[in-house]
Copies of this chain bind each other. A is one copy, B any other.
């Protein structure tokens, strides 16, 4: 009940704040999932790939051409995005077309972009 743990020495018992935060704390699996997802957005190459397929599907070599990247690089990064289920794919003959898995991703990107652009003012 009265969890008066001493924080910051005796003159800093912010235990009200601490226990408030503790109550709504995410569990470690959720943190892990979140950070893993952000990791995938946290690289220029992957972000460029993601942004390229925000509104359309593209095949691997489209992406290579568009972004001027090595085919191997693109495939490796797409594999990561696939594993995380951020993208889905469709095979058509020798080609594989990639698109975003769901519209959450678009929202996250555009919200984040807003943040960036606002900072520029």
List residues of A (97-121) whose CB comes within 8 Å of B's CBs: 102, 104-105, 107-109, 111-116, 118-119
CB of A34 within 8 A of chain B? yes
Give the residues in chain B near A56, CB-CB below 8 Å: 17, 20-21
CB of A2 within 8 A of chain B? no
Give the residues in chain B near A8, CB-CB below 8 Å: 59, 61-62, 65, 95
Residue count of chain A within 8 Å CB distance of chain B: 57
- Is B111 a contact of A104 with CB atoms below 8 Å? yes
CB distance from A116 to the nearest CB of B (A): 5
Complex Cα gap A58–B118 (Å): 26
Give the residues in chain B near A65, CB-CB below 8 Å: 5, 7-8, 18
- Is A119 a contact of B20 with CB atoms below 8 Å? no
**Residues of A bordering B, CB below 8 Å:** 5, 7-9, 12, 14, 17-18, 20-22, 24-26, 28, 30-35, 37-39, 41-44, 47-48, 51-52, 55-59, 61-62, 65-66, 85, 95, 102, 104-105, 107-109, 111-116, 118-119
